[in-house]
């Protein structure tokens, strides 16, 4: 007797869910994961007999219960002993048959094992499905299959929809539970199986273990089967076996052939089918999520993706800070600058190009556009404005715009979570520092000299933040966040005009070209560490190591 094998159909939504769970939940685990599959009895003649997987397969409400084994390497996937796995699963099926559990839980005798290797970086997936079947060698048809009357088929389909039972008994126009076979005469009933087979007069693979279960339970050599189909004619079969089934069949089959009809795994490349923006988002999150697998399991990656960063200055430091932020998965960045890209900028400022200088484009606009080209899903914004500082306050031509600039700056700082001060002059940092401190925002300053740099995390002195630290003692080597200084705490006078009466080499930021990347990277890494604190506003500063390092340096 022949049967139509199942063909696994995997929807793209399934792989998308695998990506998410592998990165964020399973990580390096290779333990079997519960999985559900759906079948369709409404497919037309000539199509595949489908076992379908989608993102809903992880919800546990599907008709067919199975498991997925997701391997970490393609070598492990290739070497996996699937024959042994199928035999172990067949033992469970046989136990369900012998114990009689299958009559109350028919899903226990039709299962599957879906083995997978997922290359999350290239969006390539290798898979091989196994639907274990205990094969009876001498199974045969007593007579040719008969078409079922449409009215009877309609009654059975109605019962299937109402009961959601894929296997049941049909006796003299009445549907009954499977336990009825223990009391009914074998010629008085038929076993109904919701069958996804699309081949006329040939039953599907899901009927095989049901046939075995019935023959074992009734201890007979004959049974009658209905292959119930919704999209075509249903079929009646009279099946017999030469001798009663008394022992477990030794032959276990069910390993699926691929699309080339080879006994090999299937593979799919979805790099061109996923939306490019979604692919980019998953790829951006990949490296950050991988940190959680071994290195920092407690890393909270959502703190980066939900962060809103304000970058005051879109020059060399601003560009490099932005590149590091998106590397951590930050999705919202706003640039503030009033400058124009000059011909000397592109070689140092990683987000600008020659054309930007040639066209006299604004730095903030150029930086935001470049980020959107690099990562289309990012929310990158540009604000052109002159930040009020000591010298502009004294110039009449700025008087009309001072109030609006201060108001806009206050609004920008208020609407973001973190502020980076990346400006060319000391005085330009003064007002943002005051505003950030007054409303309790995280603020970081980065400044460059020729071969020196400064990276500062400003203290947060807003009343609500300080109250959280009440009762905290300043331990040896630790400084509470509220006691941290800002960029101007060591000044004895208000900042003046640092650009007046300066030669060209003093007006420009003359620094080692690699220094900005070092300082920018440290600033972002400092932020990444602070964010992992239970409250990012209050983590203390550890100074003991710095003191020890200075002492060692002095000893030399």
Is the separation of the CB atoms in 193 and 206 below 8 Å?
yes
Distance CA 220, CA 121 (A): 55
Looking at per-residue pLDDT, the higher value among 284 and 542 belongs to: 284
pLDDT at 469: 43
- Please compute the mean of the pLDDT values over residues 53-60 and round it to a whole number: 90
Q: Which of 32, 24, 113, 22 is nearest to 65 (CA)?
A: 113
Q: Which residues pair with 448 in a beta bridge?
A: 453
Sequence-separated contacts (24+) of 178-182 with Cβ below 8 Å: 178/102, 178/103, 178/104, 178/106, 179/103, 179/104, 181/103, 181/214, 181/217, 181/218, 182/217
In tens, the pLDDT along 425-480 reads: 888 888 999 899 888 899 999 999 888 899 998 877 655 354 444 444 444 455 56
pLDDT at 479: 58
Distance CA 413, CA 290 (A): 32
- Please compute the mean of the pLDDT values over residues 270-282 and round it to a whole number: 79
Q: Residue 541 belongs to what H/E stretch?
A: strand 541-542
pLDDT band at 485 (very low <50, low <70, confident <90, very high): low
The mean predicted confidence, pLDDT, of the chain is: 87
Range with the poorest average pLDDT among 302-311, 488-497, 521-530: 488-497
pLDDT at 31: 95
In this prediction the pTM is: 0.71
Question: What is the CA 246 to chain-centroid distance, rounded?
Answer: 49
Is the separation of the CB atoms in 17 and 217 below 8 Å?
no
Helix (H/G/I), strand (E/B), else coil: 425: coil
In tens, the pLDDT along 15-45 reads: 999 999 998 899 999 999 999 999 999 888 7
pLDDT band at 46 (very low <50, low <70, confident <90, very high): confident
**Structure tokens, 511:** 């620094």
Is the separation of the CB atoms in 457 and 418 below 8 Å?
no
For the chain, the residue count is 556
Distance CA 386, CA 383 (A): 10
Is the separation of the CB atoms in 42 and 231 below 8 Å?
yes
Range with the poorest average pLDDT among 129-143, 189-203, 447-461, 476-490: 476-490
Q: Which of 170, 211, 194, 261 is nearest to 38 (CA)?
A: 194
pLDDT band at 131 (very low <50, low <70, confident <90, very high): very high
| DSSP string of 69-123, one letter each residue | EEESSHHHHHH--HHHHHHHHHHHHHHHHHHTGGGT-GGGGS--EEEEEEETTTT
List domains and CATH numbers for the chain: 3-269 (3.40.140.70), 276-555 (3.40.50.720)
Q: Which of 389, 405, 443, 508 is catalytic?
A: 508
pLDDT at 346: 93
Q: Which of 387, 346, 342 is nearest to 361 (CA)?
A: 342
Neighbours of 384 (CB within 10 A): 15
pLDDT band at 555 (very low <50, low <70, confident <90, very high): very low
Helix (H/G/I), strand (E/B), else coil: 34: strand
What angle is formed at CA 210 by the lines to CA 214 and CA 250, rounded to 5 degrees?
Answer: 90
pLDDT at 255: 96
Known catalytic residue at 486: no
In tens, the pLDDT along 334-368 reads: 999 999 999 989 999 999 999 999 999 999 999 99
Q: Which of 527, 537, 516 is nearest to 313 (CA)?
A: 516
Distance CA 426, CA 519 (A): 17
Which range has the top average pLDDT, 84-88, 301-305, 383-387, 429-433? 84-88
Question: Burial of 261 by CB count in 10 Å (0-12 exposed, 13-18 middle, 19+ buried)?
Answer: exposed
**Structure tokens, 283:** 């790829």
């Amino acid at each position: 007797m022949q049967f139509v094998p199942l063909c696994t159909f995997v929807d793209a939504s399934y792989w998308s869910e695998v990506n998410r769970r592998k990165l964020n939940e399973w990580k390096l685990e290779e333990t079997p994961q519960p999985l559900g599959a759906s079948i369709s009895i409404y497919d037309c003649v000539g199509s595949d007999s489908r076992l379908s997987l989608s993102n809903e397969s992880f919800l546990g409400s599907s008709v067919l219960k199975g498991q997925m084994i997701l391997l970490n390497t393609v070598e492990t996937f290739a070497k996996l002993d699937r024959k042994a796995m199928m035999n172990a699963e067949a033992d469970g099926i046989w136990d369900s048959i012998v114990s009689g559990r299958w009559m109350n839980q028919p899903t226990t005798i039709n299962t599957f094992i879906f083995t997978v290797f997922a290359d999350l970086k290239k969006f390539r997936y290798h898979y091989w499905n196994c639907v274990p079947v205990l094969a009876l060698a001498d199974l045969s048809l007593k007579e040719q299959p008969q078409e079922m009357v449409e009215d009877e088929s309609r009654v059975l389909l109605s019962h299937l929809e109402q009961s959601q039972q894929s296997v049941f008994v049909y006796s003299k126009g009445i549907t009954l539970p499977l336990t009825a076979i223990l009391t009914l005469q074998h010629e008085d009933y038929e076993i109904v199986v919701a069958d996804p087979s699309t081949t006329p007069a040939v039953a599907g693979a899901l009927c095989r273990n049901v046939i075995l279960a019935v023959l074992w339970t009734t201890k007979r050599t004959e049974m009658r089967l209905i292959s119930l189909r919704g999209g075509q004619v249903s079929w009646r079969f009279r099946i017999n076996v030469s001798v009663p089934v008394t022992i477990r069949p030794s032959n276990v089959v069910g390993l699926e052939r691929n699309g080339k009809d080879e006994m090999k795994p299937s593979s799919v490349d979805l790099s061109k089918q996923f939306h490019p923006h979604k692919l980019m988002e998953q790829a951006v999150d990949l490296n950050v999520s991988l940190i959680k697998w071994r290195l920092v399991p407690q890393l909270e990656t959502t703190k980066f993706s939900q962060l809103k960063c304000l970058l005051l200055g879109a020059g060399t430091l601003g560009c490099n800070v932005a590149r590091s932020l998106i590397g951590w998965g930050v999705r919202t960045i706003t640039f503030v600058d009033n400058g124009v890209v000059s011909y000397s900028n592109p070689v140092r400022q990683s987000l600008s190009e020659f054309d930007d200088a040639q066209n006299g484009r604004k730095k903030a606009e150029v930086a935001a556009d470049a980020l959107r080209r690099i990562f289309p899903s990012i929310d990158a914004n540009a604000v052109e404005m002159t930040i009020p500082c000591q010298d502009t306050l004294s110039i009449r031509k700025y008087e009309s715009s001072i109030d609006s600039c201060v108001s806009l700056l206050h609004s920008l700082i208020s609407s973001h979570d973190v502020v980076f001060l990346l400006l060319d002059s000391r005085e330009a940092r003064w007002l943002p520092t005051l505003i950030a401190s007054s409303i309790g925002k995280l603020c970081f300053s980065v400044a460059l000299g020729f071969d020196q740099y400064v990276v500062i995390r400003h203290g947060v002195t807003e009343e609500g933040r300080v109250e959280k630290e009440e009762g905290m003692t300043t331990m040896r080597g630790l400084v509470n966040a509220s006691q941290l200084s800002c960029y101007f705490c060591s000044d004895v006078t208000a900042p003046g005009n640092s650009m007046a009466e300066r030669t060209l080499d003093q007006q420009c930021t003359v620094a080692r070209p690699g220094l900005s990347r070092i300082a920018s990277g440290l600033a972002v890494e400092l932020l990444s560490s602070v964010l992992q604190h239970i409250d990012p506003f209050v983590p203390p500063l550890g100074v003991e190591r710095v003191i020890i390092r200075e002492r060692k340096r002095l000893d030399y």
